[in-house]
Copies of this chain bind each other. A is one copy, B any other.
Amino acid sequence: MAEGYFLAGRGTDSVNFDYFFRKNPFGGGFTIFAGLQDLFEMIEDFRFNSEAIDFLHKRGFHSSFLDYLKDFKFKGTLHAPQEGEVVFPNEPTITVEGNIIEAQLLETLLLNTINYQSLIATKANRLRHSAGDRGVMEFGMRRAQGWAVIHGSRAAVIGGVDSTSNVLSAYLYGLESSGTQAHSWIQSFKDEITAFRVYAETRPKNCVLLVDTYHTLNSGVPNAIVVAKEMEKKGERLSGIRLDSGDLAYLSKKARIMLDDAGLRGVKIIASNQLDEYIIKSLIDQGAKIDAFGVGTSLITGREDGALDGVYKLSQVNQRPTIKLSEDVYKLTLPGKKKIVRYYNGENKLYADAIVLAEENLSEIDTIYHPQYADKKSDVSGLKSEVLVSKVFENGKVLAPKKEVREISEYRKYRVSQLSEEHKRFEFPHIYKVGLSDALIKLREKLLADIKKKK
């Protein structure tokens, strides 16, 4: 397509694309926006080297276009919210302005990056919601979809987990790393207590012993207690034990009693084994004595969804707003350059968002309308409001301040705290209002009428 635009002499046409998704993942009430800083890095590195040019030449691309690509550098402008922001379906979360070729070339990179990280950050936030103030560790590298894990672990921490077992991402992004021993460690010694003892000797700090290799309550926990007592004599402390099979509610309660009876109230109980936000909630509801959860597959792959359905749609060409109808009514797009406005109620909680035209003045908007049913409307006059997006990339340079992952996670935490409990419910959450301005609705109606006229 980029070649087509080039050959058609349209390389200097200016366009506006919107990134938005149509459905919150996991049946939830909101989505955590993530991936922006990684996207910036990829945009800055987005070049066609001579190998790439040679390859495209062999695939039949025109030499004039390849000459253009040799000097290609993305110089468009991006508007977006901060990473960690709470966002909602159909909002033009990222807008990309630029010439039609650069804006087109960015599509796949942007979708690939933002869709995945936002999915995982949202999943992590659900785990955090279930776990309350208990620990949550990302343990998914073994089951991650290949190299997805590099960005997945970052997104998981943005969304609210404490640490990752993925040391590469911990290195790249300054995340907390954590891990425990595997069954193979235990099996590799002649017996369980020797395995525990040697581990405690070589790794006395943050020592967590895996207690289910042979029999959790008859062997694992009693042996861990022996080693914990031996550590105490040396002035060391066993950090925890890990349960990785069986009934985690039952075993954790029994293990807690055994540890407490041995005077080891400080030894934490960590649980893993196919956990997700529902199982964690259920374990807590059952009174399980679990201090921290290790979550693998469901977190790093965003099970049950696997993908955020984000799309990248053209909304304006050379000042001309455009629209897409398609055969599915829900796929109708919003025309023109737009921005997102957020309204707050008196308690500083999120009240509603509005999608309005970029040039609209907030002070002149007093009503927002349901996107499909215009008679459903909300009065927003007098409410505190702010534009949710700002210019984050321009002329090949990142304008947004670079933030540490933990800062982004703090922002996410604050924003989620501004949502009402009904929006955070897992099952059938209250649908957050995202309205349109009168001006945007009128523009859409005009374009629809124009298309009907043409037919």
Contact = CB atoms under 8 A, between A and B. Distances in A.
Interface of A: 1, 3-5, 7-8, 10, 13, 15, 17, 52, 55, 59-60, 100, 104, 107-108, 111-113, 115-117, 119, 141-152, 171, 177, 181-188, 191, 198-199, 201-203, 205, 212-216, 218-219, 244-247, 251, 297, 301-314, 317, 322-328, 331, 451, 454-455
B455 A215 contact: yes
Given A108-B142, A142-B108, A142-B111, A322 B152 contact: no
Contact of A104 (B15, B116, B184, B322): B184
Given A182-B1, A188-B314, A145 B142 contact: no
A4 B195 CA distance: 10
B1 A185 contact: yes
A183 B146 contact: no
Given A145-B148, A145-B301, 16 more contacts: A1-B185, A4-B198, A55-B171, A107-B182, A112-B149, A115-B142, A116-B146, A145-B146, A145-B302, A183-B313, A186-B324, A216-B327, A218-B455, A246-B328, A303-B305, A306-B306
Given A4-B198, A108-B142, A306 B303 contact: yes
Contacts of A17: 184
Nearest to A315: B187
A317 B145 contact: no
5 contacts: A119-B145, A143-B308, A143-B310, A145-B307, A297-B309
Contact of A141 (B108, B186, B331): B108
Nearest to A213: B324
A153 to B, nearest CB: 11
Contacts of A215: 325, 327, 455
Contacts of A326: 183, 212-213, 244-246
Given A202-B7, A203-B3, A15 B141 contact: no
A112 B144 contact: yes
B314 A307 contact: no
Contacts of A151: 146-147
A117 B146 contact: yes
A4 B202 contact: yes
A331 B245 contact: yes
A343 to B, nearest CB: 31
A251 B306 CA distance: 29
Contact of A246 (B112, B303, B327): B327
A294 to B, nearest CB: 14
Contact of A112 (B142, B191, B302): B142
Given A3-B202, A203-B3, A306 B145 contact: yes
Contact of A307 (B60, B177, B216, B303): B303
B146 A245 contact: no
A181 B1 contact: yes
A439 B121 CA distance: 49
Contact of A147 (B107, B147, B303, B308): B147
Nearest 7 A/B pairs, CB to CB: A246-B327, A145-B148, A301-B306, A184-B314, A147-B147, A148-B148, A111-B142
Given A116-B146, A182-B1, A454-B191, A304 B304 contact: yes
A182 to B, nearest CB: 6
A5 B195 CA distance: 10
A246 B331 CA distance: 10
A439 to B, nearest CB: 21
Nearest to A8: B198
A59 B205 CA distance: 12
A324 B323 CA distance: 60
Nearest to A218: B455
Contacts of A322: 187-188
A115 B141 contact: no
A147 B154 CA distance: 14
A443 B34 CA distance: 51
Nearest to A250: B327
Contact of A111 (B143, B216, B312, B327): B143
A28 to B, nearest CB: 17
Nearest to A166: B108
A34 to B, nearest CB: 11
Contacts of A100: 188
